[in-house]
Amino acid sequence: MTSSQERIIPTDLSNEMSRSYLEYAMSVIVGRALPDARDGLKPVHRRILFAMYELGLTPDRPFRKCARVVGEVLGKYHPHGDTAVYDALVRMAQDFSMRNPLINGHGNFGSIDNDPPAAMRYTECRLQSLATNALLRDIEADTVDFADNFDGSQQEPVVLPARLPQLLLNGSSGIAVGMATNIPPHNLGELVDGVIALIHNPEISDLELMKYIPGPDFPTGGQILGRGGIKDAYLTGRGSITMRGVAEIETIHPRGRPEREAIIVTQLPYQTNKAALIEKIAELVNDKRLEGISDIRDESDRTGMRIVIELKRDAYPRVVLNNLYKQTPIQANFGANMLAIVGGEPQLITIKRFLEVFLDFRVETITRRTQYQLRKAEERDHLLQGLLVALESIDQVIQLIRHAADTATAKGELIERLNLSETQADAILQMQLRRLTALEAEKIQAEHEDLLKQIIDFRDILAKKERIEAIIEEEVTQIKEIHATPRRTEIIQGEGELLDTDLIANEQAIIILTEQGYIKRMPVSTFEAQNRATRGKAAAKIKEDDVIEHFLTCCDHDTVLFFSDRGVVYSISAYQIPAASRTARGVPIVQMLPISQEEKITSIVSVSEFTDNEYLIMLTQKGNIKKTALSAFSNIRANGLIAISLEEGDELRWVRLARTEDSVIIGTRKGMAIHFKADNQQLRPLGRATKGVKSMKLKSEDELISMDILPSQIVATIASNGEEEEEETDTEAEEIIIEEANPTGPWLLAITNNGYGKRVPVTKFRLQNRAGMGVRAIKFKNANDKLAAIHVVNPEDELMIITNRGIIIRQAVDAISLQSRNATGVRVQKLDGDDAIAAVALVPPAAEEEELV
């Protein structure tokens, strides 16, 4: 047997393949594809940042060619292709890829249309201030371990001393062997708040951390639908997060063509290619798989993104938008897979574990930094102590040095006679003569005392973990103050998701809808109570040709039902209506509901709970009234439900909630009112697709203006053969102020278009049969005056009145005088010029505070 044959070792092939492949797989996982949970970087990114730092490419220095940086990285640390290194460098400079870019790029670094960056010889770069402040600071202070590079000629950091959880801040994605990672980016300020919360309460749960870190924050903005996917990702490490672009429905005026509706897309989901999206939409339109679109164009410029999707005249904007969400990447899923290297091994980790790993690493880096600073301070103080000894015996030292044969002898004599160390003796021999002055001696003494204080402080930090945690909190707070930016991605309610009601306070709200279809929501607390007859506050920025049409008060958890003139009902939750300031116009209602331009919302009702013993009373413009069970509207389809069948030329105008025992009061423009029961004898329950029955007989040129419901407990006190109808004459009746009658309410509140109003005891409106003429409710001051609204009110109620121009006044009901039916009332709101009262609503009772999850 030859010597070469003697070196052959028989090996099982399957075992050898398994071992070799496993070594290769771990090499890819740890050394290439997966980020380290401590600094959130893969080796290539870490090497690029460190090489740039070594080259001095800090934010205050000039830009340097990217080719120079790539060459430095390849030659010293990363022996792979230059394309891989340059691609990694480019991504760290793209503000649409990184939530907080780490590199400041100069030149063409690509675009959201997937345009490639310019060649590395043309582009320039330097570090962003966030990279130096939050990743590279203190790297010289022995905070992290260094290892040999690929050929042993250089040392490179194993990890960077990150001051922020960079892995969550900018996210990461990578495909290894047999596993992959996909971590979404987050908001810097929210991450800092989460870190601080974990420091203060180490037992905090993942769910409680979601109060501070509600979800990802993508660099391209957009929206996240629901919190279910976020919760799965944070609690289990895996979850599907639904992203959606931001699209608005606007009326545009194309040059030379009539105005039409268009969908304007201003933000896209993370990592969506804009050019490919437009091409996809055009392809779907050409294949007839997407209806209602007449034109699509990209009007994006350096001020922002703007994709205009023009609609055909007969298209329903909301339906087209929903189809775009369903069939195109305007809505996409982010498959979160929170996999990272922890302790040298790949681990699937939760949101709390992410922060714990970061905090443990941060404690270690601060401990090592403090030990380094302590060591340096002790070494310096040791030298200073030697210099102080020499200064005390300066004559002896000078004589000793002068008589020494050489430096080595002088050094030995100093060590022996003055009991110094070699380091101290060297420092004395190197001391310049100018250090012998009294001033220099004082400086040495002062520096020695200062170092003693520092040494005590460093030792105290090392002895107390709470001191280290306080330093971590201080440092992350400083970074937050410098680098934090507002959240870009909005988290909105997901379809069929119930979690949001647990996370949203059930506050009192006002909902305003204008004639031209702009809707918004505001807290009732925006308007404090005012005195009667004052002007009020502006509640909306109204266009010159627009007026307030609907005004509703409710609570944020309520379901809001929108009834259109065509007899169709739509439904959304109150908190889904975008909140806005007093001076904001609001958003078009067509963005919220799938209604056409010709369809108009005529009534809004808020429902807290869909119970079996409640009904909706519906009244049309021509006076048809019907009662339908509220439970019939508990599941309203996305495109609405038929609520009532209408005669030709009729419109659904008023809808109110009522019980069978309640009664109905209807008011007319000329000041008449009819009061009848809502029981099954007067109003029997009907299905949704029915017309109803006649409600009231009207005089010539009169019309219905309002309807309200009188609670059952009051109806019982009003005798069916109550007060006889007062005779109506042309002479002015005396205005009688009722002092004692029915002081506890309820009353009928009557408000005229010119700002006058009064309370009348409901007992003054006898119960009649349906379809009667009714009785007079108010007498007008002028012939042009009209009744604007009627409401049933109680002593504790507050009302809010809004004018056509959007001026709101909030006042207590008892501030309005109690008068007879024939009285004209008192001024309740001072009006400007030709302004008029548009609507009246009652402030809902304050909702009980709910504990937030």
**432-471: b (≥16 Cβ within 10 Å) or e:** eeebeeeebbeebeeebeebeebbeebeebeeeeeebbeb
**Whole-angstrom distance, CA of residue 83 vs CA of residue 67:** 11
Neighbouring residues of 801: CB distance < 8 A, sequence distance ≥ 6 = 536, 751, 808, 809, 811, 828, 829, 837, 839, 840
d(CA 70, CA 76): 10
- Whether omega for the bond prior to residue 202 falls within 30 degrees of 0, making it cis, is no
Backbone φ and ψ of 186, nearest 5°: -135, 175
Tokens of 704: 């219905």
Give the separation between CA 416 and CA 410, rounded to whole angstroms: 10
Q: How many CA atoms lie within 13 A of 323 on its CB side?
A: 21
Query: Residue 174 phi/psi, 5° resolution?
Result: -175, 150
Rounded CA separation 97/423 (Å): 53
C-alpha 553/C-alpha 715 separation (Å) is: 25
> Going edge to edge, which strands form the sheet with 124-127?
64-65, 124-127, 103-106
How buried is residue 501: exposed, middle or buried, by Cβ count under 10 Å (0-12/13-18/19+)? middle
Q: Measuring CA to CA, how many Å separate 289 from each of 247, 320, 326, 393, 576? A: 20, 11, 12, 98, 30
Q: Is 122 a catalytic residue?
A: yes
- Angle of helix 43-54 relative to helix 82-91, nearest 10 degrees, comes to 80
634, 689 contact by CB (below 8 A): no
CA 36 distance to own-chain centroid: 29
- Strand-pairing partners, residue 749, are 759, 791
Contacts of 226 (CB under 8 A, 6+ apart): 242, 491, 492, 493, 494, 495, 497, 499, 500
Which strand (E) or helix (H) includes residue 234?
helix 228-236
Residue 499 burial (CB count, 10 A): 15
> Which one-letter amino acid corresponds to residue 554?
C
Burial group, residue 282, by CB count within 10 angstroms (0-12, 13-18, 19+): middle
Q: Please name the residues in contact with 426: beta carbons below 8 A apart, sequence gap of 6 or more.
A: 411
SS3 state of residue 516: coil
Set 122, 212, 325, 575: catalytic member: 122
> Tokens 């996982």 label which residue?
29
φ, ψ of residue 44 in degrees (nearest 5)? -65, -40
Strands 568-573, 559-564: pairing kind = antiparallel
Strands 704-710 and 652-658: unpaired
- Cα–Cα distance for residue pair 135/108, rounded to 1 Å: 25
- CA dist list (Å): 284 to 200, 289, 293: 53, 5, 10
The three-state secondary structure class of 13 is: helix
Q: Which two tokens stand for residue 346?
A: 């790949």
753 and 836 in contact (C-beta within 8 Å)? yes
Q: For Cα atoms 147, 150, 154, give the angle at the middle one, nearest 5 degrees.
A: 55
Active site residues: 122
